[in-house]
Amino acid sequence: MTQKITFTVQPGGSLNGSIRVPGDKSMSHRSIMLGSIADGTTHVKGFLEAEDALATLKAFRAMGVEIEGPENGEVTIHGVGKHGLKQPEGPLYLGNSGTSMRLLCGLLSGQDFDTILTGDASLESRPMRRVTEPLAKMGAEIETQADGTAPLKIKGGRKLKGIHYDMPVASAQVKSCLLLAGMYAEGETVVAEPAPTRDHTERMLNGFSYPVKREGNKAIIDSNGRLKACDIDVPSDISSAAFFLVGASIAPNSDVTLRHVGINPTRTGVIDILKMMGANIEVFNEKTVGGEPVADIRVRSSQLKGIDIPERLVPLAIDEFPVLFVAAACAEGQTRLTGAKELRVKESDRIQVMADGLQALGVDATPTEDGMIINQSEIGGGTVDSHGDHRIAMAFSIAGLRANDTITIQDCQNVNTSFPEFKTLVTELGLNLT
């Protein structure tokens, strides 16, 4: 049992300085997965040394892949080829990481050995049928718990066949899971998404010279390909940068520059939403690194105003809503989010947990089935429970910048799943967090 950590945030302050936040979590996972099944040696720079990505790394080591590092964000993966993974000795424990579990489900359905996937209490309560059902249609055999959750028992040696799948939810995890299974299936696997979701899997597969087609809203793959090892430079995670984008917007006299941030258009919903709210955000030094767009971002204080968040931006900002709710509490008038039911099945029920916490701090926040209505409020002090959800813990830390009293945040140890340096960086820039 990991020790529980409590954050105490003193009210007020501003954020100033220039930082580089750690590497992108989604890309870090994928770099290990694809590097492991590539032919040859893959070098990764900027790898996220946090629990979630390390869970993926350990899983592949347990399947016989030799992986050096991480050291200062550098990882060397000695790929074993598409059919070179070996049966792990025991269950693969994936901690808090939904991405590891859902993507591995697809990849492991195509292997010739059995595996068992487990996780912590949060991960073992998250819905897995969204991947096991389409995989079953492809011929996979995965046993879930009665309610469709992990532990998952994946049977190896099944002959997979490609399917055409219309995803009922816009999920990059489901899309990626099926594309990975599709690399082992007979015929074409076609995944259609109801709205654009992050496309790191497709981009990185291309980087590894594995053909993936894109036709409108469909991603298409088959088993006729091999992965060629390559070098990967992981940019900073825009989902981690988001705490500073909001923090520097809401705290007076702030001026923060975030360097080398990934600005893949399937991830920049947070910038679009904040700009619509009147944020002062400048994106510059744009370049492409390893097939992914990267830029520096400068953000300065501004008076935000409430908006109705366009539903089309929801999948493009899906992980940023906890901190966007804090921005909404500081924005003139009302902010309304709809079409975001998915937030209820993240690391915690992010609609309920954020509403409870905001209300505990005196914010006028009303949860709805698929979103939240927030009216501008004075943020008070108090105690909030992050329910072990990293992004909730960090969002309430940022709320301290505009609070009028001390905020105590419980259950913050999982900040280590995505952003172990958060406390150091945010205090360096000016927040009083202990």
Report the interface residues with ligand S3P, using CB under 6 A.
26, 99, 171-173, 176, 197-198, 318-319, 342
Q: Would you say 269 and 316 are in contact if contact means Cβ atoms under 8 Å apart?
A: yes
CB count within 10 Å of CB 215 equals 9
The residue count of the chain comes to 434
Which residues does residue 41 pair with via DSSP β-bridges, in sequence order?
Answer: 78
The 3-state DSSP class for residue 182 equals helix
At closest approach, how far in Å is the CB of 202 from ligand S3P? Answer: 11
Comparing C-alpha atoms, which of 343, 267, 335, 342 is closest to residue 306?
335
Of 233, 319, 385, 411, the catalytic one is: 319
The smaller minimum CB distance to ligand S3P, of residues 177 and 374, is found at 177
Contact 85, 75 (CB under 8 A): no
Instruction: Please say which residue, 58 or 198, places its beta carbon nearer to ligand S3P.
Output: 198
Nearer to ligand S3P, 26 or 223 (CB): 26
SS3 395: helix
Q: Is residue 319 among the annotated active site residues?
A: yes
What is residue 187's DSSP assignment? S
Closest CB 204 distance from ligand S3P, rounded Å: 11
> CB nearest ligand S3P: which residue?
26
Q: Decide if 101 contacts 134 (C-beta within 8 A).
A: no
Three-class DSSP category at 58: helix
Nearer to ligand S3P, 78 or 344 (CB): 344
Residue 73: phi, psi to the nearest 5? 80, 5
**Bridge-partner residues for 153, per DSSP?**
116, 143
User: Which is nearer to ligand S3P, 272 or 342 (by Cβ)?
Assistant: 342
Q: How far apart (Å, rounded) are the C-alpha atoms in residues 102 and 264?
A: 22
E strand map for 139-279: 141-143, 152-155, 164-166, 189-192, 213-215, 218-221, 231-233, 255-262
- Report in angstroms how near the CB of residue 102 gets to ligand S3P at its nearest: 7
Least separation in angstroms between CB 281 and ligand S3P: 22
What is the smallest separation between the CB atom of 52 and ligand S3P, expressed in angstroms? 9
Nearest approach, Cβ of residue 338 and ligand S3P (Å): 17
Closer by beta carbon to ligand S3P, 26 or else 144: 26
The count of C-alpha atoms lying within 13 angstroms of the C-alpha of 253, restricted to the half-sphere facing its C-beta, is: 6
Active site residues: 319
